[in-house]
Homo-oligomer: A and B are copies of this chain.
Amino acid sequence: MKKPLILVSNDDGITAAGIRNLVNVVKELGEVIVVAPDSPQSGMGHAITVGDTLRLNESHIFEGVKAYECSGTPADCVKMARHFVLKEGQRQPDLVVSGINHGSNTSISVLYSGTMSAAIEGAIEGTPSIGFSLCDYSVEADFSHTAAYVKKIVQQVLSKGLPKGTALNVNIPPKRNENIKGIRICRQANAKWVEDFDQRYDPNGRSYFWMTGNFVNFDKGEDNDEWAIANNYISVVPCQFDLTAHQAIPLLNEEWDILR
């Protein structure tokens, strides 16, 4: 049987520890091609480069793996992989994986996440896609425990597929939480960031700001990704790119008097 073609991207940039760990796992499971940002793209959400040019250069950073670094966002990388590196008529990826992100992408963070934008871009193209994140922000985050779980999840998706248009948002507890209890299918928790702006003054006396924030969890359920991580499970949230609040449609149709 032909090996599956696996496209790898991320948002921390092609030199990050997380993507090296991810490539090491998936190169045992298929033929791998990497198209990843040439610089960190955290917080880029689903940004694309529309008013500027893009660069793409071959990279030899991964031994025995075809790789390219791109000046754009994670979503740009997946688009360039599909529509330039793998041109029309060529074999297209059987799976898109993104990450492993250095830091959590649970709950509302999925919207701001460059890691997940690469995965969602894969899903838009009809390819089963997974974004992986390690819930550890420390500079020396240890990714060693992630390999076994990443492998299990990738194998599962390669063998079972995913519902069309679905990308998985996978978050993995930090290594220091020993004895991960297992893997849970979850919904996105109802939580948000409450920002604070740290106002400082530059040497010219003009003010500038650093955005900081506190994460506030409103969710009391046990079926969401925040609960899973807090209880030492790996969370897997199936995500979609249809943002329609379908339940609101009949409501607005009934309530609004400007529709006729």
Identify the A interface with B (CB < 8 A): 40, 42-51, 53-56, 75-76, 79-80, 82-84, 108, 110-112, 117, 120, 124-125, 152-153, 156, 160, 162-163, 165-166, 169, 182-188, 190, 192, 194-197, 199-200, 206-211, 236-249, 251-253, 255-260
* Pairs A–B under 8 Å by Cβ, sample size 24: A43-B47, A46-B111, A49-B211, A54-B197, A54-B208, A54-B210, A55-B208, A56-B209, A83-B194, A84-B199, A111-B120, A111-B243, A120-B243, A125-B192, A153-B258, A163-B248, A165-B245, A169-B243, A236-B252, A238-B244, A238-B248, A238-B252, A239-B244, A240-B248
- A48 B45 Cβ-Cβ under 8 A: yes
Q: Which residues of B contact A188 (CB under 8 A)?
A: 242-244
- Majority SS at the chain A contact face: mixed
Given A40-B51, A80-B197, A152-B258, does the pair A185, B249 have CB atoms closer than 8 Å?
A: yes
Report the minimum CB–CB distance from A160 to chain B (whole Å). Answer: 5
Once the chains are docked, how many angstroms separate the CA of A244 from the CA of B107?
10
8 Å CB contact of A248 from B76, B166, B256: B166
Once the chains are docked, how many angstroms separate the CA of A200 from the CA of B54?
10
- A195 B152 Cβ-Cβ under 8 A: no
Copies of this protein in the assembly total: 2
Once the chains are docked, how many angstroms separate the CA of A129 from the CA of B218?
21
Residue of B nearest to A208 (CB): B53
Q: Which residues of B contact A45 (CB under 8 A)?
A: 44-48, 75, 117
- A110 B243 Cβ-Cβ under 8 A: yes
- B111 A244 Cβ-Cβ under 8 A: no
- B185 A256 Cβ-Cβ under 8 A: yes
Other A-B contacts than A46-B47, A80-B209, A108-B124, 5 sampled, CB-CB below 8 A, are A43-B50, A83-B196, A111-B124, A153-B258, A238-B244
Q: Which residues of B contact A48 (CB under 8 A)?
A: 43, 45, 112, 211
Given A45-B48, A45-B75, does the pair A245, B166 have CB atoms closer than 8 Å?
A: yes
Given A83-B197, A195-B83, A249-B187, does the pair A112, B46 have CB atoms closer than 8 Å?
A: yes
